[in-house]
Amino acid sequence: MACPRPENVGILAVEMYFPTSYVSQEELEVHDGVSKGKYTIGLGQDKLGFCTDCEDVISMSLTVVKSLMEKYGVSPNSIGRLEVGSETVIDKSKSIKTNLMELFEESGNGDVEGVDSTNACYGGTAALFNCINWVESTGWDGRFGLVVAADVAVYAEGPARPTGGAGAVAMLIGPNAPFVMERSYTSSQMSHAYDFYKPVLASEYPVVDGKLSTTCYLKALDLCYRRFCDKYSKKEGQPFSLADIDYVVCHSPYNKLVQKSFARLVYNDYLQSPNLVGEEVAAKLEPFAHLSHDDSLVNRDLEKLAQQVAKPQYDEKVGPTTLLPKVVGNMYCAALYGGLVTLIHNKAESLVGKRLVFFSYGSGLASSMFSFRVRAVESPFSLSAIAEALDITSKLESRIEVTPEKFGKAMHLGETRYGANDYIPTSSIKELRAGTFYLTKVDDKYRRFYSRKPSVESSPAMNGVKIGRIRSEDIRHRLSVFLCARFDVGENGMPAEYPKGGWECGSEGGSYSVPESNGSRWTKEEAELRCRKGDRNGPVIVSGRKQLLSVRVSATGNGDITDSKPPAAHHSHESMCMDKYRLGRTTARWSERVITGIKSRGEMPSTTSAGGMIDRLQMIFVVTRTEEEGTRTKTEPRLSQKPPKPTLAYPVVVVAPHAMWPIAATILTFSQPNVAKHGPSHISELSLL
C-alpha cells in the first residue's frame, strides 16, 4: 500500500547566483550606435550580466547548490533528488547534474535521482514539476529535492546581443513549503516551432526569429491562461481572472515582453467577460473585441492600448518581480525564477497568503502557467529568512561595471572557448564573490575542473579568538585542523609541531592541507591562537536551525570512551571524523542523535530551551581528549602526524556562513562558564534551543 501523499509540497528555499561583471544597457546603446532608449526602453533592460571565461553554467550551478546547502544547513545526505534545467550545452551527453554530484562525493550519497531537463528556457520549469511530482509520488523517500535552473545567454553581435544575461537559481523542494504549488491548475501549451533554436552545434549562439518568437510566446501565454482559467473554474466552480492573482511572474527574455504579456492577460480577461476589467477598460478595449486571435496578436494598436490600460495593475502585480531580470538580463531557464527571487527580495513576509502565478516559456516550444499559494512557515524557511539568505542587495552592490568594449572582448573570448579543449581560463577570479565556483582548467580530453573561491572572511573577534566564516565543506577539514592542532599542543599551550608548509590532517577522503599563508583560511598562527585561547574550552558550532537542536545533551567528558566502529555506508562525514578519533560514547551518541535529527528533519520534538537568541544552531561536536594512551585509534592510515595521547575533552565549534555572530556569542555566553570553570568533563547537561 502506498503511504499518503505529503501535503503543501513546493519550494522551501531559494538561492541565486549571477555574475559580478555587467555592462550598462545605456552604455551599450552608445557603443552600438543605436538610438537612445532602444535597449533601455525598447527592450526595457537596464544592465546585462555576463560570465568571463572562468565561469560557465556548471560553475554557476555548483555555486548555487553549495550555497543553498550551506545557508540552510542541508547535508548532502538529506537530498534524494537533484535535477537541472538548462539549455547551455557544454556536453551533449553528460548532464550538468553529474558535475554537481561532486558536491556529494564526500558524503557517500550517490542515491540522488534526477538528471537534466532540456527545452530552451523551459527546462527549469520541467525540472521543478518533476521534482514536485517526485515528492508526491510513491518513489519519495522523505528527503529533499533540489532543482537548479541555470543558463548563460549569449548572442552573436547584432540586435539580439543586448538580450543576453547569465544566472543560476537553486530551489529546495519538499512538503510543508512556504511556496505551495497548486499543481492541479497547471496548464501547458506545447507545439512545434522554429522561433529560437540552436542547430549550429559548434556555436554557443542561437538562431533566432525574433518576431516569430514574440508571437509564439504571446500565443502560448493566451492558451495557457485560458486553460488555467478553465481548470480553475472547473475545479472551484467559479471563474478565474487577474483579480484572483496577487503577483504575476513571467519568463523575461527582456522586460518589454513581460509588459506586453501582462497586457494580454487583461485583454484575455476582457474577452472572457467585459465585467472582469471594469467599465472604463472594457470601453477602451471594445474596438478590439472581435479580432481573430491571430490578428489580435499582431495588432499594434491593441498592444499599445492594452499596455496602457494594464499599467496600474502591472505596477502592482508585476513590477515587484522585474528587478533581477532587468539588471542581470535574460537568464533563460533561470530568468523566471529570478523573478521569484526578486519578489521575495521585495516583499518577503508580506507574501504570506498571496497567490503567485507563473508563466514559463521555452522556444521550440514548451510553455506552462502554474501557481503558488504562499504560506507562513517557521525559520529557516520563513519568507524573511529566505529573503535574508538571498542577500540580493549585497550581491547587486558587489557587482562591477565594465565597458562595452570589455564586454565585447569577453564575448569574443567566449567564442574561442566554446567547445574548446586544453586551455586555462585567463580571466581574473578577483571579482568573484567569496564562495563562487570557477573553472580552473579544461584538459586535452575536454575534462573540466573547478575550484571554489574561499568563503572564509575575517570577522569580529569573539571571546578573544578571531573566528572566520567557514564554508560548510570546510567543516570536516576544520575539524581535522582542530584535532591536529590538539594533538600538537604542548603543555605550554603552544603547538609542539606540525607538518612543514601548513597543516595536514587525515580524513576519510584523503589528507587535506591548509596552506600556511592563505588569507582566506586560518593561518597557522590563527589556529595556534585558537588552541591557546578560548577555543580550547570553547564550543564549536556548525550552522543549523532551531528544530534540529531539540536535543538534550549530556557530555560526561573523559573516560567515556568506546571503540570506534567502521563508518556505515551513508554515515555523514562529521560522524566519520568522530569515529576516527574514537570519541566518547556520549558524544558519539549525541552526534548520532543530531545527525538523526538532520535526517528526519523537523520530526524531532522541540524540548528544552536555554535562551531565545539561537535559531541557527545545528550541531555541536564535543571532542573528547583523554590521557589514556590506549584509546588512540590505530587505524588512521592517512594521518600524516601520529596523534599524541589525548588529554582533555573540549567542545569544538565550527561556525558556518550563516550562523550569525550574535548567535555564536550567545552560545559562548551560556556554555562558557561551565566549560571555563570545570572543563567540558563537567558539563553534565547542555540544553540548547
Q: Which is nearer to a second copy, 5 or 409 (CB)?
A: 5
592 binds a second copy (CB under 8 A): no
202 binds a second copy (CB under 8 A): yes
Q: At CA 619, angle to CA 614 and CA 621, rounded to 5? A: 125
Q: Which is nearer to a second copy, 425 or 544 (CB)?
A: 425
Number of residues that bind a second copy (CB under 8 A): 82
Count, residues in the chain: 689
Distance of CA 19 to the CA centre of its chain: 14
What distance in Å separates the CA atoms of residue 37 and residue 312, rounded to the nearest whole number? 22
For the CB of residue 252, give the shortest distance to a second copy in the complex, in Å: 17
290 binds a second copy (CB under 8 A): no
For the CB of residue 4, give the shortest distance to a second copy in the complex, in Å: 8
- Active-site entry in 29, 70, 87, 528: 87
What distance in Å separates the CA atoms of residue 409 and residue 614, rounded to the nearest whole number? 49
Exactly one of 134, 179, 512, 522 binds a second copy (CB under 8 A); that residue is 134
Return the sign of the alpha-carbon dihedral for residues 76, 82, 87, 93: positive
Instruction: With beta carbons less than 8 A apart as the criterion, state whether 395 and 23 touch.
Output: no
Exactly one of 31, 198, 256, 533 binds a second copy (CB under 8 A); that residue is 198
For the CB of residue 531, give the shortest distance to a second copy in the complex, in Å: 36
The interface region with a second copy, picked from 183-191, 261-269, 335-343, 619-627 by CB under 8 A, is: 183-191
Is residue 260 part of an annotated ligand binding site? yes
Instruction: With beta carbons less than 8 A apart as the criterion, state whether 209 and 196 touch.
Output: yes
For the CB of residue 27, give the shortest distance to a second copy in the complex, in Å: 29
At 425, give phi and psi (nearest 5°).
-55, 145
**Interacting residues with a second copy between 412 and 441 (CB under 8 A):** 418-419, 421
For the CB of residue 361, give the shortest distance to a second copy in the complex, in Å: 12
**355 beta partners:** 373
**Interacting residues with a second copy between 106 and 125 (CB under 8 A):** 110-120, 122-123
Exactly one of 364, 380, 404, 680 binds a second copy (CB under 8 A); that residue is 364
Q: In 3-state terms, what secondary structure has residue 627? A: coil
Indicate the Cα dihedral angle 349, 355, 361, 367, nearest 10°: 140
What distance in Å separates the CA atoms of residue 617 and residue 665, rounded to the nearest whole number? 12
Exactly one of 34, 106, 155, 183 binds a second copy (CB under 8 A); that residue is 183
**Interacting residues with a second copy between 564 and 583 (CB under 8 A):** 569
- Active-site entry in 113, 251, 477, 528: 251
**Interacting residues with a second copy between 442 and 501 (CB under 8 A):** 445-447
Exactly one of 38, 98, 355, 453 binds a second copy (CB under 8 A); that residue is 98
Respond yes or no: is residue 497 known to be catalytic.
Answer: no
- CA-nearest of 179, 325, 348, 344 to 250 is 325
Task: Output the nine-digit C-alpha cell for 304.
Answer: 499599445
Alpha helices in 180-278 (DSSP H): 210-236, 255-272
The interface region with a second copy, picked from 83-91, 299-307, 581-589, 590-598 by CB under 8 A, is: 83-91
Q: Which is nearer to a second copy, 187 or 261 (CB)?
A: 187
Q: How many CA atoms lie within 13 A of 560 on its CB side?
A: 22
Q: Which is nearer to a second copy, 66 or 524 (CB)?
A: 66
What distance in Å separates the CA atoms of residue 582 and residue 632, rounded to the nearest whole number? 7
Respond yes or no: is residue 603 known to be catalytic.
Answer: no
**Interacting residues with a second copy between 137 and 166 (CB under 8 A):** 137-139, 141
Instruction: Tell me which residue has cell 556562513.
Output: 657
**Interacting residues with a second copy between 27 and 66 (CB under 8 A):** none
CA distances from 235 to 124, 230, 601, 657 (A): 27, 8, 34, 45
The interface region with a second copy, picked from 4-12, 263-271, 377-385, 662-670 by CB under 8 A, is: 4-12
For the CB of residue 134, give the shortest distance to a second copy in the complex, in Å: 5
For the CB of residue 568, give the shortest distance to a second copy in the complex, in Å: 11
Alpha helices in 349-473 (DSSP H): 383-390, 392-397, 404-417
Q: Which is nearer to a second copy, 185 or 650 (CB)?
A: 185
Q: Amino acid identity of 592?
A: E
What distance in Å separates the CA atoms of residue 623 and residue 621, rounded to the nearest whole number? 6
Respond yes or no: is residue 473 known to be catalytic.
Answer: no
Q: Which is nearer to a second copy, 10 or 320 (CB)?
A: 10
Q: In 3-state terms, what secondary structure has residue 585? A: helix
Task: Output the nine-digit C-alpha cell for 246.
Answer: 496577487
Q: Which is nearer to a second copy, 200 or 400 (CB)?
A: 200
**208 beta partners:** 196
Exactly one of 37, 157, 158, 207 binds a second copy (CB under 8 A); that residue is 207
25 binds a second copy (CB under 8 A): no
90 binds a second copy (CB under 8 A): yes
Exactly one of 36, 37, 191, 559 binds a second copy (CB under 8 A); that residue is 191
359 binds a second copy (CB under 8 A): no
CA distances from 336 to 138, 360, 687 (A): 29, 7, 44
Q: Could you check whether the bond before residue 380 is cis, i.e. omega within 30 degrees of 0?
A: yes
Q: In 3-state terms, what secondary structure has residue 664? A: helix
Q: Which residues of 347-385 are buried (b: 16+ CB within 10 A; e: fewer)?
A: bbeebeeeebbbbbbbbbbbbbbbbbbbbebeebbbbeb
The interface region with a second copy, picked from 178-186, 283-291, 526-534, 552-560 by CB under 8 A, is: 178-186
Site string for a second copy, 225-244 (x = CB under 8 A): -xx--x--------------
For the CB of residue 450, give the shortest distance to a second copy in the complex, in Å: 10
For the CB of residue 177, give the shortest distance to a second copy in the complex, in Å: 14
92 binds a second copy (CB under 8 A): yes
Q: How many CA atoms lie within 13 A of 446 on its CB side?
A: 8
Residues in Cβ contact with 241 at an 8 Å cutoff, skipping those fewer than 6 apart:
229, 269, 272, 276
- Active-site entry in 121, 216, 224, 577: 121
CA distances from 281 to 260, 307, 623 (A): 16, 11, 70
* Feature table: binding site for CoA: 213, 256, 260
Would you please indicate which residues are annotated as catalytic (active-site) residues? Answer: 87, 121, 251
* Feature table: binding site: 213, 256, 260
